[in-house]
Amino acid sequence: MHKPIVLIAEELSPATVDTLGSDFEILSCSGADRSALLAALPRADAVLVRSATRMDAEAIAAGRRLKVIGRAGVGLDNVDVAAASRAGVMVVNAPTSNIVSAAEHTVGLLLAVARNIPQAHGALKEGRWERSRFTGVELADKTLGIIGLGRIGSLVARRMAAFGMRVLAHDPYVRAGYAERAGVSGVGLDTLLDEADFLTVHLPRTPETEGLIGFDALHRVKPGVRIVNASRGGIVDEAELYAALKEGRVAGAAVDVFATEPCFDSPLYELDNVVVTPHLGASTLEAQERAGVAVARSVREALAGRFVPEAVNVRMGEVDAELAPWLAVVERLGRLFTATAGGLPPRLRVTVRGEIARHDAGPLELALLKGALGPVVDGGVSYVNAPLIAQERGLGTEVHTDPDSPVHRSLVRIDGTLASGEPVSVTGALNGLRSGARLVEICGYATDVALDGDLAFFLAPDRPGSIGAVSEVFTRAGIPVESLWIGRGGGSGETALVALGLGGPAGQERLDDGAAALDAARAWGLERTG
């Protein structure tokens, strides 16, 4: 059986390969070598990169089998996420892998710019003992202004509070009260610029944040402020920062990131009151290992067709732990619906009842689309491209929730009406992880069938003696019948639904033989891997 191929396009930690394990064939190439990358991609089911490999539209198109791009780090500047989404390729990264490293580097830069450490080091190495020239300032009792109170900004705030600093923070995207719960004072940007003795930036680079610390901000800052940017280049306007440093409005700056990288020539390099490093925020052994291991785990999940919380181009966001097991259940119900209906109606309805009804049902809707479209779409359906494929096919969905579920703690029902006017429905329950998912209804017939194995279904006359015959069909073919259920209550009452749990896939030939043994009007199956 073909093993999925994972292409590692840059040097990653040995733990990354260990995490992938023996289930994959590993290929390697230099992602910085464009021709080598494009030559290797057509074989790959997944590719792992860091920052030197450009996974743009051309590279993604070359990876005809690609299902996932793993970026061993936080930023995605080198990955065309939009092109990946159009191609149905999941993009995953490691959003928390380097937060400690980035926060610690920020602290180091704050100390360096406050105490002129690199400048003094350089002078002494050149034979000059210049104590008075490099007199610095203390951090204690000073005000630190943090712009961006996400994971890294929060860690910086916690660490600098231990230095005795008063910490202010500005972040319009965090909920009210978050700053105070993090132990800092939340303020507007103007207030922060007015009061900060030191200023650090911890924001992504977006059209809204680019140039945020530019002419206006740098003319408003408190005179003598020291500025640190270890987040993304371009947020602090480098030309305006140079002017503010030359004029003395800003006493010093530490810059780890630049608008264009690598940056070999910058006016900032000319100034003695500037500390620079070549984008080292995530460059620790620990961060690189965490990033590689994290994306390797995500790639394993993605290639298994499962939901990946770190996927940046899936419209789920975070999924509550109580809801997460239902994703696979609903995806399987979606596949079963399509197999039962023999196609898809123009609209699918999802009804969520019981305890899980209190959660956002959006992820379940996405799982339904992935499952229902899978059997009828060539080229594969993923969490990434399922909404686009549904839109192209004119398939609509609607979601209903009801906290009341009289029999089961929670259940999900999928139903729709075919063009012929025939209604089709499937309902699943998950009352406990140990008992597994159960199919509890199909087209009006009550059932109690394990939903996670190979299944065969027949609509046949309700008469004695036929069950032994259909069981013999599969047993003779070497396919054990592990469970059997006869559902009654649908249709006219003269027809029963026979559901078999099998020890292997039925195949169309066996389904036809089983239908003949039962004199069944219809027969269909669902494979374990589907």
Catalytic residues: 232, 261, 279
H/E run at residue 199: strand 198-201
Name residue 226's beta-bridge partners. 198, 252
- Which conformational region is residue 279 in: left (phi greater than 0), alpha (psi within -120 to 50 degrees), or beta? left
* Residue with token string 């400690």: 100
Structure tokens at 81: 């996420």
What one-character DSSP code corresponds to residue 367?
A: H
* Residue with token string 């000319």: 270
Structure tokens at 247: 């004029």
d(CA 128, CA 119): 11
Measured CA to CA in angstroms, residue 233 lies from 203, 210, 255, 279 at distances of: 10, 8, 9, 9
d(CA 353, CA 411): 5
What one-character DSSP code corresponds to residue 241?
A: H
What one-character DSSP code corresponds to residue 311?
A: B
Instruction: Confirm if 484 and 496 have CB atoms less than 8 A apart.
Output: no
Buried/exposed 411-440: b ≥16 CB within 10 Å, e otherwise: bbbbbbbeeeeeebbbbbbbbeeeeebbbb
What one-character DSSP code corresponds to residue 154?
A: H
Those residues whose C-beta lies under 8 Å from the C-beta of residue 25, and which sit 6 or more positions away, are: 3, 4, 5, 6
Instruction: Confirm if 320 and 364 have CB atoms less than 8 A apart.
Output: no
